A and B are shown apart, each in its own frame.
Chain A
Amino acid sequence: MTAHDLRTRVSRRKLLSGLSLSAIALTSPIWRAATAFGQDASRPAAKRFIGIFSANGTIASAFFPEGDASDAPLGALPAILAPLDGYQDQLMVLKGVHMNSTVEDELGVPSSNKPGGPHMKGPGAMLTGGSLMAGSFTGAGGPAGWADRISVDQAIANRFGSDTRFPSLELGVRIEGQEPLRVISYRGANQPNLAIDDPLQMYDRIFADFELSDAERAARLAEQRSVLDFLKDDIARLQARVTSEDRARLEAHLGGIRGIEQRLASAAVACEQPMKPAPLDTRAMENFPVVGQLQLDLMLLAHRCDMTRVSTFMWANADSWQYFPWVGVNEEHHELSHAGDDDTAARDKLIAINAWHAEQLKYLLDGLAAAEEADGTRLIDNTLVLWGNELGAGNSHSYTDIPWLLAGGAGSALRMGRYLQFADRPHNDLLVSVCNAMGMDDVTTFGIPGVCTGPLDLG
């Protein structure tokens, strides 16, 4: 698509200044078909987890396939999922899995006064199975803060992330707004992992020190260790003198220092560094698809190069006010999502927006399928992708029937290629199943324990 094409599709409110896609693609020589790096061929390939967020709910009739069977093979895909046609064997659509724990108390009793507006609650709950703490951001049930516990990607990273350069990577595109709208990944209560939504910054982060020779690297390592040792000592000294609350804050800081240590200790990555993308305005509304693709490329690269095994990706913030002129939507996504059920024009546009996101998922799956692991399997076979949303339906702010989609093989832990319908199960159960599929068999509850009813049967 050229900039010109893009423009002609924009009607009155054309917000595009135009930027040629070809000018900024990641030009990586290892990109199209290559072996995943840095792994031991004698061991089975490591499992990977990728969490994906998109905003403002879905159109249920265009997301969930037809039929009432509780367990049916995945056949023809509805409009939103249609771009994923061909991947049926690698997909699982889940219906009847709600996110009511965002509005329930510790015992699973509905509670109307949990902090945060409906859009704000969703991202905080999607991967944590918890809820937002009280804070200063405007919202229903009292002003909200950050989420109150760890998210599933971080639980997985804590278990399996120590072998790689980054325990996890958090990426996204145009993430804006009040802070709790911007985050799905949490290391713990009040510990948001804010995603980087600028591919240039992400590039700098993951390819830091790439050019160094072995000798340079060793010298640098020794020095950094002295500094890190000093800091660990220094933090411990201060921790002894402050309140318990501040001790926890410093502990989080220490976690960051340990993260840097881990990166130093991890083996050099045998990956060729791609060209750095040319500068572009990552905040511009019209650059959403370009930035998104660059970020997907970087995420794929990080997995292929085994720099990380866990990542999350946010398509804008919750409550997203993004426009999608390239699919004929010249209105704010959020405002559109409030349209009534009988507003067919709005409905079609929302389907187009969601289908566009499915198309991006296909791009990701293509990348994962094209990469071979050292043991001969493909990256996609060992990866579990979880695509979720902050809401079920945007116009009612419902947390029922969240559009959950699992993709990939998770190392054969799950029987994919199915459409499963549950009778109102909490998404905490899904998060338990995700942990189990990743090999964390000891996990029996996730998020708010009181709402858990046991893992979903996905095997």
Chain B
Amino acid sequence: MRFGRSPIISVALLALTACSGTISGGGRPSDSSAGDGAGPRERPGASGDSGGDGDGDRPEDPMVDPDGPGGNPPIDCSEQPIDPGPAPLRLLTRTQYVSTVRDLFDEAMLAESELSAALGPATEASAFGLVQPDVTQVQVEGFQKAAELIAKTVVEREETLDAIAPCADGADPTACARDVIERFGARVYRAPIVDEDDIDHHVTLFEAGASTSYAHGIELLLRGMLQAPRFLYRVELGTSERVSATAVRLSPHEIAARLSYWVWGTAPDDALIAAADSGALDTDAGIERQLERLLGDPRGATLLRRFLEGWTHVSAVETLVKDPELYPAWQEPALREAMRAQASAFFDHVLEEQGGTLSALLTSRSVLVNDALASFYDVDGSGEAFEPVELPEEQASGVLTLPALLAILAKPDESSPIYRGKFVREMLLCQQLPAPPANIPPAPEVEAGVSTRERLRQHEVDTACSGCHQLLDPIGFAFERFDAIGRYRTIDGGETVNTNGALTGTSDADGELDGVAQLGARLAQSAEVEACMTKQWFRFALERFEQEIDACAMQRLIDRFEASGQDLNALPTALIASDAFLYRRPIQSEPEP
């Protein structure tokens, strides 16, 4: 099995050489930057569809395979030493930061908008945010502002101050502060503060403010702690308990933080901390019990949905621009918001009502409709809540026919077989596409009476185009019954829509097809799609790219996924048994720079 580089070249080398002058003799995949062939925005295709080294891997340690794809000898997983791979410090994401603060303090204390304003600009990360750069000056300034705001708000609210930093009348303020540091500090840092010297260093900060008042000392202390790296980053030092030359166990509190940030996107709760303290997280069974509890909580129930949303990047629909004359309804945010919500409702429906299978994700004929989308589907609305409606197979094929996704994978004024084909290649098959050639002839203007398919005919005739576009357009044509906003149609350019297409360049799903339902069915049977799906999950869950050393972990993940009948709901439990989740590399064995 291959990791990192995508396999497309091995199956389509001849086609690619016709594609672009920029391709080297080695048949390396070339450009697929955000705009080229991928459309104008950060499309779902941007979400990390091909390998590379994970976050924090410095340039001297790239995982790029210089030989391109080829036959790696099979790995004997029974003899592989445990190696959890890299696990660099990760800065809390904006969402994690906000949730953590709201859990640490009284939730009503600060509106999310106030906190966000203090933190400054946030950019939604593409590619699951796997490539985390070093912190920026503006971010550090934002953390300072936010910490000042939080600390000030805490001490101004008597009940909050009493809750986190109680100090009885006549008690020694410094003793009170020590207690706050040990007790509340353990919550802020997601780990006990054990070192006396460490506590003293916090006391010094308290005392700098305590000359004014106890409350002011606490304010200063909080300002410091909320800017300390142990709060802002997810720090994992590991324990001294070695399980192999390249792995040590994580501490129970580190396991707890991994679980809670992964499943809930926030710091561990009381029960999880208690489990860490009691030794309940020292066994796989104990960890699994906690995972079950977290998944059963409303916050955890959204884990897989969040994965699917991040993978498809459906939130992009909310700011999508469409031609106002062709799509007047699009100009109202209500439709876009409904589509965004529908995508979430659909994912929930697949996960909860349809067995969570990969097949349901790709082929389900259930469409979630509420009154905002009733006219879009030409069915009767049923109030604000989404209700499943079964549509004929040519009108619905799971995620492939979600209007939010189809609208993202389209131009402002027409459908785009190219973007849709690219989505299937990159996001469902984990393949990588080459660059468009120089001097592209002007695209034919969109005009009534000419179908999109007709306009793309040039790609078949012009050899400069056909190399790449034969990989894209025939897949995309299967989607042609869906227009630029994902609405079902039977006529385009005055003609009956032709949805004949083909899937090529895959290991096990090639062949002619007609319509999106056939495409969905074909993909649902494919082992390549199954492997791609688990790969995406691995990246999302472990917040890094798979590497050669993860081959066995990936294979186990696929095996477990298969054993569950390809139930997406089985993915979380399948993952926590992996080396990468339970261990980290010992710090002292890391090479010096």
Residues of A within 8 A of B (CB): 12-15, 112-113, 115-120, 133-146, 148, 176-179, 181-182, 187-194, 196-198, 201, 205, 223, 226-227, 230-231, 233-235, 237-238, 241-246, 248-250, 252-253, 255-257, 259-260, 283, 285, 319, 321, 332, 334-335, 338-341, 343, 345-346, 395-397
Q: Known contacts A13-B413, A234-B229, A257-B140; is A245 also within 8 Å of B32 by CB?
A: no
Can you list 18 A-B pairs, Cβ within 8 angstroms, ordered by A?
Answer: A13-B324, A13-B412, A14-B324, A112-B26, A118-B36, A136-B127, A138-B33, A140-B32, A177-B46, A177-B126, A201-B121, A223-B208, A231-B224, A235-B228, A243-B88, A245-B86, A250-B229, A253-B135
- Nearest-neighbour CB distance to chain B for A281, whole angstroms, equals 10
CB pair B53–A134 under 8 Å, yes or no, is yes
- Among A201, A223, A397, the one with the most B-chain Cβ atoms within 10 Å of its Cβ is A397
Contact of B41 among A136, A176, A252 (CB under 8 A): A176
Q: Known contacts A242-B237, A335-B35, A397-B435; is A142 also within 8 Å of B41 by CB?
A: no
In B22-46, which residues have CB < 8 Å from any A CB?
Answer: 22-24, 26, 28-36, 38, 40-42, 45-46
Q: Known contacts A117-B31, A148-B59; is A248 also within 8 Å of B134 by CB?
A: yes
- Residues of A close to B442: CB separation below 8 A: 339-340, 343, 345-346
Query: Is there a chain A Cβ closer than 8 Å to B441's Cβ?
Result: yes
Q: Known contacts A112-B24, A140-B31, A143-B50; is A190 also within 8 Å of B590 by CB?
A: no
A245 CA to B135 CA in the complex, in Å? 14
Stretch touching chain A among B197-205, B246-254, B275-283: B197-205
A229 CA to B442 CA in the complex, in Å? 60
Contact of B201 among A112, A237, A242 (CB under 8 A): A237
Q: Which 10 A-B pairs have the closest CB atoms?
A: A117-B33, A256-B140, A112-B24, A252-B134, A396-B438, A321-B40, A117-B31, A140-B30, A226-B208, A140-B31
In B313-327, which residues have CB < 8 Å from any A CB?
Answer: 319, 321, 323-325
Contact of A256 among B41, B62, B141, B228 (CB under 8 A): B141
- Residues of B close to A14: CB separation below 8 A: 324
In B126-155, which residues have CB < 8 Å from any A CB?
Answer: 126-128, 130-131, 133-141, 144
- Nearest-neighbour CB distance to chain A for B106, whole angstroms, equals 23
Query: Is there a chain A Cβ closer than 8 Å to B70's Cβ?
Result: no
- Nearest-neighbour CB distance to chain B for A338, whole angstroms, equals 4
- Residues of B close to A140: CB separation below 8 A: 22, 28-33, 434-435
CB pair B63–A134 under 8 Å, yes or no, is yes
- Residues of B close to A339: CB separation below 8 A: 440-442
CB pair B426–A396 under 8 Å, yes or no, is no
Q: Known contacts A135-B53, A334-B40; is A196 also within 8 Å of B138 by CB?
A: yes
- Residues of B close to A201: CB separation below 8 A: 120-121
CB pair B137–A193 under 8 Å, yes or no, is yes
A142 CA to B205 CA in the complex, in Å? 48
Interface of B is mostly: loop
A235 CA to B89 CA in the complex, in Å? 13
CB pair A397–B22 under 8 Å, yes or no, is yes
Contact of B125 among A179, A252, A283, A395 (CB under 8 A): A179
Q: Known contacts A178-B42, A321-B35; is A134 also within 8 Å of B134 by CB?
A: no
Query: Is there a chain A Cβ closer than 8 Å to B58's Cβ?
Result: yes
CB pair A138–B50 under 8 Å, yes or no, is yes
Interface of A is mostly: mixed
A251 CA to B461 CA in the complex, in Å? 56
CB pair A135–B52 under 8 Å, yes or no, is yes
A194 CA to B125 CA in the complex, in Å? 12
A201 CA to B123 CA in the complex, in Å? 13
- Residues of B close to A139: CB separation below 8 A: 31-33
CB pair A234–B224 under 8 Å, yes or no, is yes
CB pair A253–B64 under 8 Å, yes or no, is no
A188 CA to B233 CA in the complex, in Å? 20
A250-B89, A250-B229 given; 6 more Cβ-contact pairs under 8 Å = A137-B127, A145-B52, A179-B133, A334-B36, A338-B436, A343-B442
- Residues of A close to B120: CB separation below 8 A: 196, 201, 205
CB pair A256–B136 under 8 Å, yes or no, is yes
Contact of A142 among B64, B135, B227, B324 (CB under 8 A): B64
Q: Known contacts A138-B46, A176-B42, A244-B592; is A119 also within 8 Å of B229 by CB?
A: no
- Residues of B close to A178: CB separation below 8 A: 33-34, 42, 46, 126-127
Query: Is there a chain A Cβ closer than 8 Å to B48's Cβ?
Result: yes
CB pair A227–B432 under 8 Å, yes or no, is no
- Residues of B close to A255: CB separation below 8 A: 137
CB pair A243–B590 under 8 Å, yes or no, is yes
User: Who on chain B is nearest to A122 by CB?
Assistant: B33
CB pair A191–B40 under 8 Å, yes or no, is no
Query: Is there a chain A Cβ closer than 8 Å to B192's Cβ?
Result: no
User: Who on chain A is nearest to B56 by CB?
Assistant: A245
CB pair A253–B229 under 8 Å, yes or no, is yes
- Nearest-neighbour CB distance to chain A for B547, whole angstroms, equals 12
- Residues of A close to B138: CB separation below 8 A: 193-194, 196, 205
Contact of B88 among A238, A246, A335 (CB under 8 A): A246
CB pair B35–A341 under 8 Å, yes or no, is no
A259 CA to B208 CA in the complex, in Å? 22
- Residues of A close to B127: CB separation below 8 A: 136-138, 178
Q: Known contacts A117-B33, A178-B126, A340-B442; is A243 also within 8 Å of B51 by CB?
A: no
- Residues of B close to A179: CB separation below 8 A: 123, 125-126, 131, 133
A191 CA to B140 CA in the complex, in Å? 13
CB pair A226–B62 under 8 Å, yes or no, is no
- Residues of A close to B35: CB separation below 8 A: 119, 177, 319, 321, 332, 334-335
A226 CA to B133 CA in the complex, in Å? 28
CB pair B134–A190 under 8 Å, yes or no, is yes
- Among A134, A187, A340, A343, the one with the most B-chain Cβ atoms within 10 Å of its Cβ is A134
- Residues of A close to B38: CB separation below 8 A: 138
Contact with A along B421-456 (1 / 0, CB 8 A): 000001000001011101111110000000000000
A363 CA to B292 CA in the complex, in Å? 61
CB pair B123–A194 under 8 Å, yes or no, is yes
CB pair A252–B121 under 8 Å, yes or no, is no
A442 CA to B63 CA in the complex, in Å? 36
A176 CA to B34 CA in the complex, in Å? 10
Query: Is there a chain A Cβ closer than 8 Å to B209's Cβ?
Result: yes
A452 CA to B3 CA in the complex, in Å? 36
Query: Is there a chain A Cβ closer than 8 Å to B5's Cβ?
Result: yes
- Residues of A close to B413: CB separation below 8 A: 13
- Residues of B close to A190: CB separation below 8 A: 58, 133-134
User: Who on chain B is nearest to A113 by CB?
Assistant: B28
Query: Is there a chain A Cβ closer than 8 Å to B235's Cβ?
Result: yes
Query: Is there a chain A Cβ closer than 8 Å to B591's Cβ?
Result: yes
Query: Is there a chain A Cβ closer than 8 Å to B73's Cβ?
Result: no
CB pair B133–A238 under 8 Å, yes or no, is no
CB pair B135–A227 under 8 Å, yes or no, is no
User: Who on chain B is nearest to A222 by CB?
Assistant: B208
- Nearest-neighbour CB distance to chain A for B288, whole angstroms, equals 29
CB pair B438–A226 under 8 Å, yes or no, is no
Query: Is there a chain A Cβ closer than 8 Å to B309's Cβ?
Result: no
User: Who on chain A is nearest to B135 by CB?
Assistant: A253
- Nearest-neighbour CB distance to chain A for B194, whole angstroms, equals 13
Contact of A259 among B64, B137, B235, B321 (CB under 8 A): B137
